[in-house]
Amino acid sequence: MKGYWVVMASVVAAAACGGGGEKASSGATTAAAPPVTPAPAGGAAAAAPGAAVPITGKTWDVKMVGDAAGYRFEPATLTISSGDGVKFTVVSGPPHNVTFWTDSIPGGAVATLGGNMPQTMAPLTGPMLLNLNDTYVVSFGGTPPGTYHFYCTPHLAFNMKGTITVK
């Protein structure tokens, strides 16, 4: 439990230091930006553990919600194909992010998934999305089949988690 509070304090500190203003690094996209490009060339993608594999299939939408009914991903369970992408969008209750558990994803997936996640804060941890309509796109190009468990770091205590099954 002590470790949880250390992580939460780090998240709050990171959000406080990095927040404010309208920044492209928050993961926000505009209507003109196609959601099929998971990472910009160079920059944040170069620091990822593996090379980014582009989305070659469908891009699925997942809403990030925090309201009187609780904190959740909608849908919380999704089945996709390898090569698809998932676009996470803040619709209420920010800040939100997407973090994958390294010990509960398919073997050999850490490097590929990490390379497909732009602008990470830590391994398999996407950036904090601070504003309504901010989006974060993760490519599942090149990822092995299996179940990928994920959660929202600031709202894990509220059971904001989900699964993506890659077939």
Residues facing 164 on adjacent strands: 78, 148
Q: Is the dihedral of CA 133, 98, 81, 29 positive or negative?
A: positive
CB neighbours (10 Å) of residue 94? 21
DSSP string, 96-121: B--EE-GGGS-TT-HHHHHHTSTT-S
Return the active site residues.
Answer: 96, 152, 155, 160
> Sheet holding 70-74: strands in order across?
70-74, 59-67, 85-90, 135-139
